Amino acid sequence: MRAIAVVLSAVLFASISAHAQLRPVGLPSQVIRAITAEQGDPDDRWFPVTANALFAATDSGMVMQGRTWDDGKRWVPIGPFTDPPADIVTLCVQHWGAGPMDGLHLFAAVRTHGVAEAPVLLRNGVSMFGGPDSVWERADSGLVRGGVIPTVQAMTAMYYSGHEPPQPVLAWTTNGPWRGSPGGVFWEPSGGVGGIVYAMDVTPKWFGGNVWAAGRQAPLSGDAAAYRSTDAGLTWTSFLFPRTGQAWARAVAVAPGHPDTAYVGVNDEVQRTTDGGFSWSRVLTMAGANVIALACDPHEPAHIYAASDSPEFSLRRSTDLGATWQVIAAEEEPFPAAVTCMTVALIDTVPLGNPARRGLFLGTDGTGVWRYEMADSPSPVEVPPAAVTPRMRVYPNPARGRAMLEVTLAAAQPQRLRIRDMLGRTLWSAEREAMPAGTSSISLPVDRLSPGTYIVSIAGAAVLLRVLR
């Protein structure tokens, strides 16, 4: 019996080791611009894993559809078949339903370059078996206003089942954040913030309202910024990363099931908050390259992956909330090129009999799509408890001559209050050496400001103030 146990242990260890390897899964020699995958609901009792569809956009303007579980044996081109080819910025999947009656909407954000094209295309009714089972259609109603065609830089979506109400699709354009109706057929602008965003993430995917985004305070100047919404994109709060010179935030990931823990890639650093943006700490520096993509394990909130835009393949993994990091490298030829994008998906049990797995799917700069199968941490890691996110509001808003800032802090500490214009220039600041925990009110010098829109920030949070004549 002991010999049998040893043999079984060896087989199990070999299986886990093999699954942990980095391996190509199709589209060799292709440059991957964007990648996304259908994600099953891990909490569904009857259909815990329904993920099977994988989508990759190439630099030729074509979306390829694959399957998460077949090692790249079949990829099908599904369009959009346009002339000239579409310049695809990002892809987004919205899953609806559960089990055999489920489906998904696939969105493609298209860069318009001033040409009268749709900034968002929709393809619904996608089948797990691929093929031309549906066509692309425009999904930009409301986005194009006054003849101005915005560029969508980032998209994300909450999923829903028959037991939950339909959820919106979220997009951040060169005109700010937008909410799309389920299926993305009509869009309305969200209020509260400006700036430009390059990445968005939401948790939980199924029927969640917590969204994080990463970008800049202004398109051409200003500090890098993180943005958070706790009401499915209706309102947003911004958190700034002050720096000298140019700073960019191009990647974001939220720890599943712990909405106050988020990671943002700022230039070559990974910044982490565990208290909803109240405080940030640097947990990784990828010297000589910028953080281009971040992803969290859907079953392990303490597991985070980071990739850089280094000319060589560069991927790191942490199993302790970013405290320590390991390098993930290909162990044998062929070797992957630089990472361009990545997504996480639960890998379906199809074909029947295969165990359910979790995969990190990577798009690369000329070597197609790769997969890293996630291995559980050898020891559990405690996730910090959720903290109270700082709250702030300005009233009256819009204001004439006088306004008050009301801010609620989780702990007493010194703070710097700033008022800046939309280009990020500081117009007024004040140091508060002893800001108490709880709610405080501060008078703002609105009479010194010209009519316009301004950014009021304190404690890592920010709110827009509109000043009238």
Residue ranges per structural domain of the chain? 24-373, 391-467
How much is the pLDDT for 19? Answer: 38
Give the domain 24-373 fold. Answer: Methylamine Dehydrogenase; Chain H (2.130.10)
How much is the pLDDT for 212? Answer: 94
The CATH homologous superfamily of the domain defined by 391-467: Immunoglobulins (2.60.40.10)
How much is the pLDDT for 334? Answer: 84
What amino acid is encoded at 227 in this protein? Answer: Y
Give Cα separations from 330 to 306, 315, 336 (angstroms). Answer: 16, 10, 7
How much is the pLDDT for 40? Answer: 67
Tokens found for residue 10: 């060896």
How much is the pLDDT for 459? Answer: 63
How much is the pLDDT for 221? Answer: 64
Could you tell me if residue 394 is left (phi over 0), alpha (psi between -120 and 50 degrees) or otherwise beta?
beta
Block means of pLDDT (10 residues each) for the chain, length 469 residues? 35 35 90 88 52 88 88 87 86 76 83 68 64 72 80 88 79 89 84 83 79 83 84 86 76 87 93 85 89 89 91 91 88 87 78 66 95 64 50 82 82 77 77 76 88 78 78
Q: Which residue carries 């354009």 as its tokens?
A: 173
Angstrom distance (rounded) from CA 181 to CA 346? 26
How much is the pLDDT for 235? Answer: 87
Angstrom distance (rounded) from CA 23 to CA 54? 16
Cα-based angle 264, 266, 269 (whole degrees, multiple of 5): 90
Report DSSP state, residue 104.
Answer: E
How much is the pLDDT for 305? Answer: 95
Per DSSP, what are the bridge partners of residue 393? 406
How much is the pLDDT for 220? Answer: 61
Angstrom distance (rounded) from CA 368 to CA 365? 7
Tokens found for residue 188: 């309305």
SS3 state at 6:
helix
